[in-house]
C-alpha cells in the first residue's frame, strides 16, 4: 500500500516515518516530515544473527529518504552507539547532509566515517543540552539523559503542530558516574507546556522496578578488585566510558596498572580523554609489554570482546591463541556486559574454556558485573508522567516490547486510541489535535557484506545456508566446441559432502551414475548446454539424495576444447 498523499487541508501536519528500530533491536532511524522539510533521528545499523551467514551488518533502506534528499535538513544523533550512528557512512556517501550530536557522539561517529574515507567531507555539528537549533520547520532542543554511553540526549522538537519528545536510549540514573543527572526539570517543563507526542525507549519494558545505577557496578567491582589474588582481565564495550572510568579508578586505588586491548578500546579511551569525558589517573595505563613485567596482583587487562566474538582478544585468550596474553590459574576474568541475544552459546563456550584454564570467571547473569543502560518499568512510567503526552509511540524494541510499553502507557490513563504500536515502514500523521496511521512507506533491511551493499539477498542467503548444512559438489565435463560431443569427464570435486581422500569409491560411483545418464541420450542429437547442465545437476542430486539423504549444492561446469 502506497503512503497517502498529503492532505489538501490548510491545517498543518507532521508525518512520522520509522525506517528502523520498531520491530527489532537496533537499526534505529526515524524520519520526521513537515511540508518540504525532512529530519532524521539517528542512523543506526544492526548486527547480524545466525540467520544471516557471512553478513557483516544490516542497515536501513534509505530509498524514501534519498527520493526526498533535497528536503533533508539534517541527521540528529541521540548518542554514540553503533545501532544509532553506524549506518552514517552508507547514507553520507549518497547525500551530503549535516549531522548533529553531542561532542562524544560525533567523535565516535567520526572514527567510523574515517574508516570509510568520509571523515573529511562530513559536516558534523556539535550541540549541547538545552541549546536550541533550527532545521527547517523543526526547532530541536537536546535534553540530557543517562545511558550506558556518556553524553546521551533525548530531544524536544518544536514542529508546526506542537512539541514532540524523543527519549533516545535512556534510564534515570540518580547517581551517574560523571555527575550529569538527567534533565528532569526540562522534561517536566515541556510536559507542563504541552507535548503532542512522545517516543520512548522500550528495550527494558519487561523488567519491573528501576534499573540500578552504574555506581552499583562500581561498588561490586571494587569488592572483586579487593579480593582478586592475581591478574584481572575485564572485558566490556569500548563505548562504555563510565565503566572504563570506574575500572581505571579502581586500578589506581588498588595499586594496579592497566593495559588496553582492542583497537576500539584504545581509540575510544583516547577520544574520551581528549574531550574530557574520561580522566585517566596518572601512570595507570601502560603498554601490554610493560604490564607483563609486573607481578600478576598488580595487573589489569581492559579488553573488548565481551560477547566472545571470534578472533576477539577475549576469545583468543580463552583458546590460548593470543600472542601476548596466556591465561593462568589464579586469573580473574570478568565479562562486564550484558549478553546480546544470539551470543549466548559463544559466551558459554568462552566461559567454559576459561574455567578449564583454571581462571575464575564472572559474567551476567551468574554475577553482578553489569547494569543496563535502559529504563525499566518504573522509569518508563516516570518519563510518561513527566512529559504527559497527548499521543504516545513506543520505539526501540521488538514487537512485544512495543506492545507491552503501550499497555504500560494505557495503565497510566492514556486512552488506547492515542497510543500507536507500529513497526518499520508504517507511517503516522499528526495535526494539532489528531493522529492517524498512514499506508506503508518503502523500508527494509539492506545487507552489507564486505564492500557489497544490498547485493546479497534471500537467494544468496539460502545458498549459504545450504552450503553450511550439506556442502557443495562440483561436476565438470569437457565438450568439443564444434560438435558438442563430451570428450572428457565427468570429474567431481566435493566440499562438505564427503571427504575426497577417503571416498574414492563413492566419487567413482557418482561418476558412473552421470555416465549412465549421459549414455541414455541419443549421441546423434547435440545436447544444448542448459540441457546438459540440467542433466548433470539432476542425476547427481538424485544419486546423493537417494544414497545419503543429503542435499548439497550441485554446481555443473561445462568446459570447451
Domain containing residue 284: CATH number: 3.40.50.10710
The pLDDT score that the predictor gives to residue 525 is: 61
Residue 6 has pLDDT above 60, yes or no: no
Residue 365 has pLDDT above 90, yes or no: no
Tell me which of 556 and 336 has the higher pLDDT: 336
Calpha distance 395→169 (Å, rounded): 10
Does a structural domain hold residue 7?
A: no
- Least confident segment among 281-285, 461-465, 472-476: 461-465
Note whether 473 and 550 are same-domain residues: yes
Q: Which of 374, 396, 401, 405 is catalytic?
A: 374
DSSP string, 24-87: BSS--EEEEEETTEEEEE----B---TTSTT--EEEE--HHHHHTGGGEEEEE--SS-HHHHTT
Specify the DSSP element, H or E, that contains 155.
strand 153-159
Tell me which of 454 and 235 has the higher pLDDT: 235
Q: Which of 363, 385, 414 is at the close of a domain?
A: 363
Residue 127 has pLDDT above 50, yes or no: yes
- Least confident segment among 43-57, 194-208, 228-242: 43-57
* CATH number of 412's domain: 3.60.15.10
Residue 49 has pLDDT above 90, yes or no: no
For range 534-550, the mean pLDDT: 83
Residue 237 has pLDDT above 60, yes or no: yes
The pLDDT score that the predictor gives to residue 524 is: 62
Does a structural domain hold residue 554?
A: yes
CA 248 → CA 103, 244, 302, 431, distances in Å? 22, 6, 9, 51
For range 377-391, the mean pLDDT: 98
The pLDDT score that the predictor gives to residue 53 is: 58
Q: Which of 315, 332, 363 is at the close of a domain?
A: 363
Band (pLDDT 50/70/90 cuts) for residue 216 is: very high
Note whether 412 and 300 are same-domain residues: no
Q: Which of 83, 201, 249, 331 is catalytic?
A: 201
Note whether 174 and 48 are same-domain residues: yes
For range 322-326, the mean pLDDT: 91
For range 518-533, the mean pLDDT: 71
The pLDDT score that the predictor gives to residue 482 is: 59
Residue 2 has pLDDT above 60, yes or no: no
The pLDDT score that the predictor gives to residue 46 is: 83
Q: SS3 breakdown of the chain: % helix, strand, coil, rounded to 5?
A: 35, 25, 40
116 a catalytic residue: no
Residue 455 has pLDDT above 60, yes or no: no
The pLDDT score that the predictor gives to residue 272 is: 96
- Least confident segment among 196-200, 388-392, 551-555: 551-555
Note whether 414 and 517 are same-domain residues: no
374 a catalytic residue: yes
Note whether 35 and 175 are same-domain residues: yes
Please check whether residue 92 is in contact with residue 118, taking contact to mean a CB–CB distance below 8 angstroms: yes
Note whether 201 and 52 are same-domain residues: yes
Q: Which of 421, 453, 485 is at the close of a domain?
A: 453
For range 488-496, the mean pLDDT: 79
Dihedral sign for Cα atoms in the order 514, 520, 524, 525: negative
Band (pLDDT 50/70/90 cuts) for residue 5 is: very low
- Least confident segment among 128-132, 180-184, 425-429, 552-556: 552-556
For range 215-220, the mean pLDDT: 95
The boundaries of the domain holding residue 516 are: 458-560
Note whether 161 and 247 are same-domain residues: no
Mean pLDDT, the chain, whole residue set: 89
Q: Tens of pLDDT along 19-39?
A: 999 999 999 999 999 999 999
Does a structural domain hold residue 331?
A: yes
* CATH number of 547's domain: 3.10.20.580
With cell 566419487, the residue in question is 507
The pLDDT score that the predictor gives to residue 550 is: 78
Band (pLDDT 50/70/90 cuts) for residue 535 is: confident
Note whether 58 and 193 are same-domain residues: yes
pLDDT over 90 for what percent of the chain?
A: 69
Residue 250 sits at φ, ψ, to 5 deg, of: -65, -40
Band (pLDDT 50/70/90 cuts) for residue 1 is: very low
Note whether 178 and 194 are same-domain residues: yes
The pLDDT score that the predictor gives to residue 450 is: 62
The pLDDT score that the predictor gives to residue 559 is: 78
Note whether 104 and 225 are same-domain residues: no
Band (pLDDT 50/70/90 cuts) for residue 521 is: low
DSSP string, 74-128: EEE--SS-HHHHTTHHHHHTT----EEE-HHHHHHHHHHHHHTT-TTT--EEE--
Tell me which of 418 and 457 has the higher pLDDT: 418
Note whether 428 and 286 are same-domain residues: no
Three-state SS at 528:
coil
Note whether 409 and 482 are same-domain residues: no
The pLDDT score that the predictor gives to residue 105 is: 97
Residue 141 has pLDDT above 50, yes or no: yes
Q: Comparing C-alpha atoms, which of 305, 308, 303, 376 is closest to residue 342?
A: 308
Please check whether residue 116 is in contact with residue 150, taking contact to mean a CB–CB distance below 8 angstroms: no
Does a structural domain hold residue 9?
A: no
For range 496-509, the mean pLDDT: 76
Does a structural domain hold residue 1?
A: no
Calpha distance 100→146 (Å, rounded): 18
Band (pLDDT 50/70/90 cuts) for residue 293 is: very high
Does a structural domain hold residue 4?
A: no
Give the count of domains, the chain: 3
Band (pLDDT 50/70/90 cuts) for residue 138 is: very high
Amino acid at each position: 500500500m502506497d503512503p497517502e498523499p498529503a492532505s489538501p487541508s490548510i491545517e498543518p501536519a507532521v508525518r512520522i516515518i520509522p525506517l528502523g528500530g520498531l520491530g527489532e533491536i537496533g537499526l534505529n532511524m526515524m524520519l520526521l516530515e513537515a511540508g518540504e522539510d525532512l529530519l532524521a533521528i539517528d542512523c543506526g545499523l544492526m548486527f547480524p544473527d545466525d540467520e544471516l551467514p557471512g553478513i557483516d551488518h544490516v542497515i536501513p533502506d534509505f530509498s524514501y529518504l534519498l527520493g526526498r534528499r533535497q528536503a533533508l535538513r539534517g541527521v540528529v544523533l541521540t548518542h554514540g552507539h553503533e545501532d544509532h550512528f553506524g549506518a552514517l557512512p552508507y547514507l553520507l556517501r549518497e547525500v551530503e547532509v549535516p549531522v548533529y550530536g553531542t561532542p562524544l557522539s560525533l567523535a565516535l561517529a567520526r572514527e567510523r566515517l574515517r574508516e570509510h574515507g568520509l571523515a573529511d567531507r562530513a559536516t558534523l555539528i556539535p550541540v549541547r543540552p538545552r541549546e536550541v537549533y533550527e532545521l527547517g520547520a523543526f526547532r530541536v532542543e537536546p535534553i540530557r539523559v543517562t545511558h550506558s554511553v556518556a553524553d546521551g540526549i533525548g530531544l524536544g522538537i518544536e514542529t508546526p503542530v506542537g512539541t514532540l519528545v524523543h527519549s533516545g536510549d535512556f534510564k534515570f540514573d540518580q547517581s551517574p558516574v560523571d555527575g550529569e543527572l538527567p534533565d528532569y526539570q526540562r522534561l517536566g517543563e515541556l510536559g507542563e507546556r504541552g507535548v503532542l507526542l512522545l517516543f520512548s525507549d522500550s528495550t527494558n519494558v519487561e523488567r519491573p522496578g528501576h534499573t540500578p545505577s552504574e555506581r552499583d557496578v562500581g561498588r561490586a567491582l571494587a569488592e572483586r578488585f579487593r579480593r582478586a589474588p592475581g591478574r584481572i582481565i575485564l572485558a566490556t564495550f569500548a563505548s562504555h566510558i563510565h565503566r572504563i572510568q570506574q575500572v581505571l579508578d579502581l586500578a589506581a586505588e588498588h595499586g594496579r596498572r592497566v593495559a588496553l586491548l582492542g583497537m576500539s578500546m584504545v581509540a575510544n579511551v583516547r577520544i574520551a580523554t581528549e574531550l574530557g569525558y574520561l580522566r585517566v589517573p596518572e601512570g595507570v595505563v601502560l603498554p601490554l609489554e610493560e604490564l607483563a613485567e609486573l607481578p600478576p596482583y598488580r595487573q589489569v587487562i581492559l579488553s573488548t570482546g565481551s560477547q566472545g566474538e571470534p578472533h576477539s582478544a577475549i576469545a583468543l585468550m580463552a583458546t590460548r591463541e593470543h600472542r601476548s596474553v596466556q591465561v593462568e590459574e589464579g586469573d580473574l576474568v570478568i565479562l562486564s556486559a550484558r549478553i546480546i541475544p544470539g551470543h549466548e552459546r559463544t559466551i558459554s563456550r568462552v566461559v567454559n574454556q576459561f574455567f578449564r584454564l583454571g581462571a575464575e570467571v564472572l559474567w551476567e547473569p551468574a554475577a553482578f558485573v553489569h547494569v543496563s543502560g535502559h529504563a525499566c518499568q518504573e522509569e518508563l512510567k516516570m518519563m510518561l508522567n513527566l512529559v504527559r503526552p497527548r499521543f504516545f509511540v513506543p520505539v526501540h524494541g521488538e514487537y512485544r516490547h512495543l506492545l507491552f510499553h503501550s499497555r504500560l502507557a494505557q495503565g497510566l490513563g492514556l486512552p488506547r486510541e492515542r497510543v500507536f504500536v507500529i513497526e518499520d515502514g508504517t507511517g503516522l500523521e499528526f495535526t494539532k489535535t489528531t493522529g492517524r496511521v498512514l499506508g506503508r512507506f518503502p523500508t527494509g533491511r539492506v545487507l552489507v557484506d564486505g564492500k557489497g551493499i544490498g547485493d546479497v539477498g534471500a537467494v544468496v542467503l539460502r545458498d549459504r545456508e545450504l552450503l553450511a548444512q550439506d556442502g557443495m559438489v562440483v561436476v565438470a565435463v569437457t565438450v568439443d566446441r564444434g560438435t558438442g560431443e563430451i570428450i572428457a569427464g565427468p570429474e567431481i570435486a566435493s566440499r562438505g559432502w564427503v571427504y575426497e581422500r577417503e571416498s574414492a569409491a563413492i566419487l567413482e560411483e557418482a561418476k558412473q551414475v552421470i555416465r549412465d545418464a549421459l549414455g541414455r541420450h541419443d549421441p546423434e542429437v547435440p545436447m544444448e548446454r542448459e540441457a546438459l547442465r540440467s542433466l548433470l545437476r539432476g542425476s547427481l542430486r538424485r544419486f546423493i539424495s537417494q544414497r545419503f539423504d543429503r542435499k548439497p549444492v550441485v554446481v555443473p561446469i561445462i568446459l570447451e576444447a
